[in-house]
Structure 1
């Protein structure tokens, strides 16, 4: 439904109920954005998130290396954070995330858990780059008549301080009731946006999605799957210490936090790095709440870190460990981290002839599955 506001038009998308998303409460794009000049046919078939992100990245090329009195843009759209090097040489990490009722959390979720997740999502992006959060900004679009605004922002301030990024500013707006499609609520959903700035310790370089190298091993900071059923998506702990240790170790070449599912996010690393990630399903640390590895890699909202590290061992098993033939044998983790690393779950290889960069998941029978098709796409 399109509504006129002054001279600018906005497209309002009413998200499906959380329960219809197979437990995937996730998104990183706004549900309220300026309407594009598109045909009615295009409006009936909205752009997929991956296509929209590519569109944004393609039109942001002139940002890289852009410099001025403030410093220089090192990393723009396409990673967990933007990276800016200031004129004094310091590295700033910048990220922003939204949290929308009905999309990322169920109506009726406690105010404290809503506030916690709103802040934690952005903090997790900082952790994925190997940085520490330093301060935050928050905005809220509150439903008309929302009676818990003070409680909500008190809780957001509490959690922001808990992770070392006190809120230093923001904005508040109140939504109004609007006509809605049949069967949907008429009030605007609660929507929160949190921006977090972070920094790198001891001159460490940020961990990018684009750094994976042929021969690297793949590690996780925790289990995957079952996040929605267990409530983990509301209570997850951003892996700040693991990210900082990874950046300081000098042994980690690439990283990403798992918000849209291990499959899709692994493919993003492969695509950004120009390589193929191979993940062995039999090696995955899967939550007991997941029926199988397929659900575990699709569901998302795990908020663990996937790390590509220099090889700790070149030895491979040939099935005697019960793993898929060709899978990496168990080896000590490449560096000490809290929580401890799990893996290796796979490795990085060069693309074969005619193969595009991305990721592959190999099941117990040796069958290969395209990982990029296994995960959450906000525009699908």
Structure 2
């Protein structure tokens, strides 16, 4: 497939080419992403690529012959010559030179007779006969069709990169933007070696997480928002199924965009964690101060109250709980069956994941 970066100038060689027929247009301002998308599209549409390739070859072989190039150049020079005010003539004392030496020295009737007998061209028509030019309407339609094809490619390209960016935001590994530095590893190793600090940290962390969890869930109950009860960890699942326009994951993403763009809260849709049912959102509550918590709660409460479809109702937990094989602790403060160092590692790793934040 022919890839072509559109020129800023009008040239003879490309003015007759049509995007998506003889070539694939490449944006001049974003060449690398445009080339990347062209390759992806070509790999996904090999049959269409072959059609474009053959059309480009045919155009070069048939429409860009040197005879046409010479005719066009001759025509162009003639048209430019019409703009000149200077009218050339024979200079005084000039000697005429021509390949027919027998006719050049003659004058009068002999010259006329000899010129009439000369073979001036092997063709019955005058040289450089070009096809008729487009009229204004035809030219406008042709240029508009080329512009529409280019806009179509740009729209496909935008949709492709929007999809890629959305996958990066909602991908299964949102924390893998870079490796942990040697300095950070050294710091964590020293931190984990302090057993007294780890014991105090685990106890205090459990107490604070329990208080924060109770604060959030109590306010959600008052707002009429249901959730799955949790007894450990940094997040819980909030049930926003009543707010979905339809029970699909596409509707879940639409609701998520409203929450992010309009409500200014960043909660994670369940589909980004391979959830089994649309409408569940992960609410992380550990990495924010108390003031931020109250602002977030106020925004959630105001948003839910504006949604007329919200009706308090019961829901089934079998979807999420039927396959659970582990037995969690009954409270945040209870000791879990692992060493203090292991508890600290798990908590530190958890903090690296995306936490709810106010935008």
TM-score (norm 2): 0.18
Higher relative contact order (CA 8 A, sep 6+): 1
Larger Rg: 2
